Amino acid sequence: MDLIEAYYIILFVLSLVLAGIYAIMWRKRFSGFITLIFLLVVIANLGYLFVYNSETLSEAIIGIKLTYFGACCINLFLLYTIINLCNLNVKKWIRLIFLALTIVVFISALTIGHSDFFYRSISAKKIDGHLVLNKVYGPAHAYYYIQLAAFMLTMFAFTFYAIRKKNDVSRHILHHLLHSESITVFLYFCGRIFPLKYDLIPLAFIVFEIVLLLIIRRIMLYDVTDTVIDTIAKDGETGFVSFDNKFNYLGSNSVAKEIFPKLVELRVDDSAVKNTEINEQIINRIKLFISDENKKTFFKNYRDKIYQIDIDSLLDGKKKRGYILYIQDDTKDQKYISLLNKFNDRLRDEVAQKTEHIVQMHDNLVMSMATMVESRDNSTGGHIKRTSDVVKILIDEILKDEDDSALKLTPEFCHNLIKAAPMHDLGKIAVDDAILRKPGKFTVAEFETMKTHAAEGARIVHEILKGTDDLAFHLIAENVAHYHHERWDGSGYPEGLKGEIIPLEARIMAIADVYDALVSKRVYKEAMSFAQADTIMTESFGKHFDKRLEKYYDAARPLLEDYYSQAE
């Protein structure tokens, strides 16, 4: 093995290692263009190694085409990635022009060895056991240079624009991009100007991959704030502001900027310590929290309102990456607390009001999460509300039964099941949009993927409620999400439970879920008539559903039909 071959082998191996590191760091929210870049660098660097080790001219041409395929696509996806990272609103037709230019170049490269369009000629001779290629470029190759230069200039232009104009983009990311673009251009032109025995382009690819990994690590920090709470709070009454471990500003919403006006002056990655007012009002409070985690709450008066501000750690998995502040209008509660000092006899009422407020917030959070999940599924609009109402109708019929063999449900069980019903499909948040929003029936493979939502839903419910004191509700909500697709005869999923091993709450939920699916219109079917749905439901008791619940379904049927008639 000579030094040149070792150079290409090392770069190829490095591209594999970097792709492996990216795979470990991969998150669902990452741009697909970045994933394609790491894959294409492996292909391109393999092409360079293949060309150098070719035994014949035809083998070398195959390798050359691989390198052009990788280089053309990498340049395109780098441009797309920079557009996304700079948070630029580039029109779709402009993106299509970039794609068309790339396709033209690659199709031209495919003519190598067949015409003089891209290469006027190409020949080879062996020197020291390796082919040495003699290439005479054709007219299309000049177009390749023009396209490459246009793409590079566009990348620089987008990056400079974002640095000057975009406050919502990390300075670190933009400077990383600028440096990597400069290094890439430098290596490219060095390889073209100086008569080197090896090509510097694969090295430039490796440099850009390393920079992308640094950028990805930063993106992971920002993605931590993109949680369900953030989504709900974004345009609501809850404010938030976050900082990294060095107290550099990461972002905030409009509520936080109204209460702390100096936040408007900060750009992403600015040091908050250098802003005197923010340092005094926020950073010093965070430092107190660091020294004593019990000091996580403080209050701020602003325009005749009292805001409660809670500090918490910003986590990436188990690793602390910074701090986040949640801001809520606590004016009413604070006035109540001040009155307690004068009117001790009102203590119980005040606590009850506070508890009711917290419970309502919890219920709203659960419903908001369920609604957010349902909004991604274009086939089940209104499903969570209807199934919750159907569960209530069924429970009302069960409670009316005074027979000795009747199911005996406690008020707590009934309340918890009705409240848990909207959470039964939370697991769909983990299902890919391409499947969840498919306008038609699923393939076998797609249905297998969809089926994972039950176990995933149980996991999500467990994580959401694991800190709650209401263990009874926690268990019922988790069971509803996990087992509502189990069948009485054991043919359901995800665990294949059978008979009374299936929790009662899941058996009741299954009836509501299936009935709504039958009588509701979906993108892949029309709504069934009540008679058709009733036939299917009746035949399913003892197979799909618990036979003991059939009489309650029969009793509830008139109410269900009236409910769905009004819903239409």
- DSSP labels, 234-266: TTSS-EEEEEETT-BEEEE-HHHHHHSGGGGGP
pLDDT over 90 at 13, yes or no: yes
CA Rg, the chain, in Å?
31
pLDDT over 80 at 248, yes or no: yes
DSSP string, 94-119: HHHHHHHHHHHHHHHHTTBTTBSSSE
* Numbers of helices and strands, H then E, in the chain: 22, 7
Q: Assign 363 a pLDDT band (cuts: 50, 70, 90).
A: low
φ, ψ for residue 566 (rounded to 5)? -70, -35
pLDDT over 70 at 220, yes or no: no
pTM: 0.43
Hey, what domains does the chain have and what are their CATH numbers? 3-222 (1.20.1070.10), 228-329 (3.30.450.20), 355-567 (1.10.3210.10)
Distance of alpha carbon 62 from its chain centroid, rounded? 39
DSSP string, 318-368: TEEEEEEEEEEE-HHHHHHHHHHTT-GGGHHHHHHHHHHHHHHHHHHHHHH
Q: Which position has the token pair 């699916």?
A: 517
The separation between the first and the last C-alpha atoms of the chain, rounded to the nearest angstrom, is 76
Alpha-helix residue ranges (DSSP H) falling in 424-529: 433-436, 444-451, 453-465, 471-483, 504-519
Distance of alpha carbon 517 from its chain centroid, rounded? 28
Per-residue model confidence as pLDDT tens digits over 37-74: 889 889 988 888 888 888 888 888 888 888 888 888 88
- Tokens for 112? 């190598």
pLDDT over 70 at 124, yes or no: yes
Q: Assign 228 a pLDDT band (cuts: 50, 70, 90).
A: very low
Per-residue model confidence as pLDDT tens digits over 451-490: 998 999 899 889 888 877 778 888 999 999 999 999 999 9
DSSP-derived letter for residue 409 is -
Q: Assign 201 a pLDDT band (cuts: 50, 70, 90).
A: confident
Max CA distance (Å), the chain: 101
> What is the Cα–Cα distance from 261 to 149, expressed in whole angstroms?
44
Q: Which position has the token pair 């990655």?
A: 269
DSSP-derived letter for residue 529 is P
> What is the Cα–Cα distance from 246 to 51, expressed in whole angstroms?
48
Q: How many CA atoms lie within 13 A of 31 on its CB side?
A: 20
